Amino acid sequence: MLILIAGPYRSGTNDDPELIQQNLDNLEAVALPIFRKGHIPIIGEWVALPLMKLAGSTQIGDETWEEIQYPAAHRILEKCDAILRIEGASKGADEDVRIGREKGLKIYYNIEDIPYAKS
Q: So what's the pLDDT on residue 18?
A: 96
SS3 100: helix
Cβ atoms of 64 and 30 within 8 Å: the answer is no
DSSP conformational letter for 69: H
Mean pLDDT of 80-106: 97
pTM for the model stands at 0.95
Mean pLDDT to the nearest integer, 13-41: 97
Query: What residue type is 91 in one-letter code?
Result: K
